Structure 1
Amino acid sequence: MVLTVNQLQEIKQLQQVCEQEGNFGLKLNWEMLSARKEGRKDDFLHYEDGNLVGFLGIYGFGNKTEICGMVHPNYRRRGIFTKLLKEGISESKLRGTRQILLNAPAGSSSAKEFLTKVPNHHHMTEYQMKWEGKIPQTNPAILLRPSTEEDLALKIRLEIECFGFTEQEAYEFYKEYRSSSNEDSYIIEAEGSPVGKMRVDHHDGEAWIYGFAILPEHQGKGIGRSALAWIIEKEHRSGYPVFLEVEAKNAHALGLYESVGFKSYHAQDYYEYTG
């Protein structure tokens, strides 16, 4: 369902209360919340006395579903989140997702306590990073250009080889992406040959890098670092602070981002649901 302007405002206000009380950052994927579609149940809202006190959202990423939610501090331990999570998991399973990941801020003690009652195992930790360095040196042989329909086969291949999608899942992802996304989509070229991709979303005056991937046979050659330098320079000159997310289990990627000036400021833990 499409969330109304009022519902989005209620979710934002509840997020602010929860984050202030817990001193952490919730990952609610606002670029996706703001672009929900009719005919699909992605969001679950719980009201008490006319006020939104519980929220859970599910987010599809090809072969997996991520789930994140919250309950007002004054309404916890009443079974609200248990009910919301049950609904979210049921909906995820109806879609045939191969993996359900429960997302919780690394610093949330209430989330960790709740997760002890849910069948799961820790999957990975993801760091939100902000660029705070000097503009790194660019390589004139590495360029980014806007992607076109002719680049779809390359993007499908990158999702399969770099992110573990099946071919069908990758096609479904891009079918939905084309119909709802306002992100800037780029193809990375090395000496004129397309070898990678990157998306940049502008939201609330910030630039966020997503879907960054280089074909395996072209990795380790400095192409990724040069591509990051290119986009950092572009977004910085346009007045945007630059952010991205990276999985901690990918130590090489973490080191790559740090080498061009990104620093971690928030962490999100992901737990694979095993029920």
Structure 2
Amino acid sequence: MLTREQLNEIKELQEVCENEGGFELKLNFEMLANRVENKTEDFFHYEDGQLVGFLGSYGFGNKVELCGMVHPEYRRRGIFSRLLEMGLEEAQNQNIETILLNAPTDSKTAKEFLNTIPCTFTVAEYQMKWQKTELTEDAAVTLRPSVSTDDREAEIQLEVSGFGFSEEEARMHHQTIRDNSGDQRLIIEANGKTAGKMRVSEKNGEAWIYGFAIFPELRGKGIGRKALTKVVINADQKGLPIFLEVEAKNAHALGLYESCGFRSYHSQDYYQYLK
């Protein structure tokens, strides 16, 4: 588990790197703040008592994402290479099948480094923010908390069909969310039947939407848009800015979000490490 001091050191280093580079790093502080004991997921490099290098490992089933940074004044000294080596070794010790390296699209130093290691671009992920748009709720679609065993099974199957998880990975990912996340897990119903799911996090004065998926046979019927509309209206009534993330390869989802008033403001690129 990370201490409060370590979390503050990471935030301070993140601020320095982002201000210098003009980009945003995806360090997922919710996961950092909920690390479990006896598991190595974070790697640090200090110089004279100051944190100047950090790499975080974020597991999702049998996939892990690595994201890190080095203080601008300490770059080109091999610090990030050593941190990455430790992160890769730990992932391989855990027999992780897929290792993804996460870098801000606008980071030139990250792209230069990635050109030196065996990896290939896989997908871009866009962060989007809702812009005030007139939306109308539809009573045909409802949202309710996920509470039953059947609800949990539906969530797992939606992870498989919506995000490409194997069933084992989906169960591991779902258990991690249940154990370590305070997000609202919502079931989407249409005509009284389970149609999809999403998670909503309301923290630090912001609302974030995650894990939004509709069963394949029910897509294209407007269910997703109606469900998203309900969540957006609810968060807007609370006075919260609303954010979400979507992969660029999912053109349908991107169009859905844009039709509800979301606009992209930042993107992250993912590269698969070639073992």
Normalised TM-score (structure 2): 0.98
**Deviation of residue 137 (structure 1)?**
1.4
Partner of 2:104: 105
* Alpha-carbon separation, structure 2, partners of 1:95 and 1:196: 32
* Alpha-carbon separation, structure 1, partners of 2:4 and 2:47: 19
* Alpha-carbon separation, structure 2, partners of 1:190 and 1:84: 47
Summarize the alignment of residues 1-275 of structure 1 with structure 2, pairs less than 5 Å apart: 2-150=1-149, 151-275=151-275
* Alpha-carbon separation, structure 2, partners of 1:216 and 1:190: 14
Root mean square deviation, CA, Å? 0.9
* Alpha-carbon separation, structure 2, partners of 1:221 and 1:73: 49
What code does the residue aligned with 2:79 have?
I
User: Secondary structure at the residue paired with 1:194?
Assistant: strand
Which moves more between the two structures, 169-178 or 260-269? 169-178
* Alpha-carbon separation, structure 2, partners of 1:190 and 1:163: 21
* Alpha-carbon separation, structure 2, partners of 1:191 and 1:269: 38
**Deviation of residue 95 (structure 1)?**
2.0
* Alpha-carbon separation, structure 1, partners of 2:175 and 2:120: 31
For the Cα contact (< 8 Å) 1:135–1:232, is it kept in 2? no
What whole-Å deviation, never above 9, does each CA across 1:237-269 have from its counterpart, x for those lacking one? 112110000000111111110000000000101
**Deviation of residue 171 (structure 1)?**
1.3
What code does the residue aligned with 1:263 have?
R
For the Cα contact (< 8 Å) 1:205–1:240, is it kept in 2? yes
* Alpha-carbon separation, structure 2, partners of 1:184 and 1:16: 29
* Alpha-carbon separation, structure 1, partners of 2:191 and 2:132: 27
* Alpha-carbon separation, structure 2, partners of 1:115 and 1:106: 12
* Alpha-carbon separation, structure 2, partners of 1:159 and 1:93: 24
Which moves more between the two structures, 117-126 or 94-103? 94-103
What code does the residue aligned with 1:32 have?
M
Which moves more between the two structures, 196-205 or 42-51? 196-205
* Alpha-carbon separation, structure 1, partners of 2:205 and 2:134: 19
Which moves more between the two structures, 166-175 or 116-125? 166-175
For the Cα contact (< 8 Å) 1:135–1:233, is it kept in 2? no
* Alpha-carbon separation, structure 2, partners of 1:203 and 1:108: 27
User: Secondary structure at the residue paired with 1:101?
Assistant: strand
For the Cα contact (< 8 Å) 1:41–1:91, is it kept in 2? yes
Matched length: 274
* Alpha-carbon separation, structure 2, partners of 1:178 and 1:259: 31
User: Secondary structure at the residue paired with 2:127?
Assistant: strand
What whole-Å deviation, never above 9, does each CA across 1:161-184 have from its counterpart, x for those lacking one? 111111111111122222111111
User: Secondary structure at the residue paired with 2:258?
Assistant: helix
Gap regions ≥5 residues in structure 1? none
**Deviation of residue 135 (structure 1)?**
4.0
What code does the residue aligned with 2:226 have?
S
What code does the residue aligned with 1:71 have?
V
**Deviation of residue 149 (structure 1)?**
3.3
What code does the residue aligned with 2:259 have?
S
**Deviation of residue 98 (structure 1)?**
1.8
User: Secondary structure at the residue paired with 1:182?
Assistant: coil
**Deviation of residue 202 (structure 1)?**
2.1
User: Secondary structure at the residue paired with 1:257?
Assistant: helix
What whole-Å deviation, never above 9, does each CA across 1:52-103 have from its counterpart, x for those lacking one? 0000001011231111000000000001000000111111122222211100
What code does the residue aligned with 1:95 have?
Q
